[in-house]
């Protein structure tokens, strides 16, 4: 009887040892797979933002603002994507160039105040797309209207 008890005890000890080793291996496998998944997610996020930045950065819109009216513009503001360009004292036939960099999808907003005190506003003119260079000309006319000539830059 004694040898059977000894065998049973050894078998029980071997089973416990096997369970302990399996549990430790499962923990190691779980830790490895968790770390691997986190690294893959981190690398994916870095690549996503790096590609997005390289596509959109450095692109923008070059805008020429022209006073084609027969009055002096006391002040004008051209805005797009939260950025603005202010003009003061633009004479008849005068031009000013503005550059807006790192834009997101938006339209121009233009306001003009003449020396006479008249105010002209166009809150939504044209459309710019982030990641693309634009060469635009906004012209203020005698009738108080605005014209936009837009072209995609190279």
Least Cα distance to 66 among 139, 115, 143 occurs for 139
Please name the residue ranges forming H helices in 2-148: 2-56
* pLDDT given at position 130: 79
pLDDT digits (tens, 9 = 90+) for 114-139: 999 999 999 999 888 877 888 999 99
Statement to judge: residues 52 and 93 lie in one domain: no
Statement to judge: residues 69 and 140 lie in one domain: yes
- pLDDT classification of 46: cutoffs 50, 70, 90: confident
Residue 97's contacts (CB-CB under 8 Å, 6 or more residues apart) are 62, 63, 64, 65
Q: Is the pLDDT of residue 31 over 60?
A: yes
- Which has the higher per-residue pLDDT, 7 or 74? 74
- Which has the higher per-residue pLDDT, 148 or 34? 148
23 lies in which domain range? 1-56
- Which has the higher per-residue pLDDT, 20 or 87? 87
Q: Is the pLDDT of residue 26 over 60?
A: yes
- Number of domains, the chain: 2
Statement to judge: residues 31 and 72 lie in one domain: no
What is the Cα 18 distance to its own chain's centre?
A: 54
Statement to judge: residues 50 and 86 lie in one domain: no
Mean pLDDT of 63-81: 94
Statement to judge: residues 64 and 48 lie in one domain: no
Residue 82 is classified by DSSP as T
Statement to judge: residues 43 and 76 lie in one domain: no
**Residues counted in the chain:** 154
Least Cα distance to 141 among 92, 107, 99 occurs for 92
Statement to judge: residues 91 and 46 lie in one domain: no
- pLDDT classification of 54: cutoffs 50, 70, 90: low
Statement to judge: residues 84 and 145 lie in one domain: yes
Statement to judge: residues 40 and 86 lie in one domain: no
CATH number for the domain spanning 116: value is: 2.60.40.2890
- pLDDT classification of 22: cutoffs 50, 70, 90: low
Statement to judge: residues 41 and 76 lie in one domain: no
pLDDT digits (tens, 9 = 90+) for 73-126: 999 999 998 999 999 999 999 999 999 888 888 999 999 999 999 999 999 998
């Amino acid at each position: 009887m004694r040898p059977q008890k000894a065998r049973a005890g050894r078998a029980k000890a071997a089973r416990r040892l096997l369970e302990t080793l399996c549990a430790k291996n499962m923990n190691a496998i779980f830790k490895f797979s968790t770390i691997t998944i986190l690294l893959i997610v981190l690398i994916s996020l870095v690549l996503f933002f790096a590609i997005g930045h390289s596509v959109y950065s450095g692109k923008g819109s070059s805008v020429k603002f022209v006073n084609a009216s027969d009055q002096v513009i006391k002040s004008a503001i051209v805005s797009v994507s939260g950025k603005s360009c202010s003009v003061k004292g633009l004479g008849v036939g005068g031009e000013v160039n503005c550059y807006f960099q790192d834009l997101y999808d938006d339209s121009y907003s233009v306001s003009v105040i003449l020396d006479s005190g008249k105010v002209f506003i166009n809150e939504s003119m044209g459309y710019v797309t982030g990641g693309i260079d634009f060469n635009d000309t906004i012209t203020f006319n005698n009738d108080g209207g605005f014209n936009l000539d837009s072209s995609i830059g190279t």
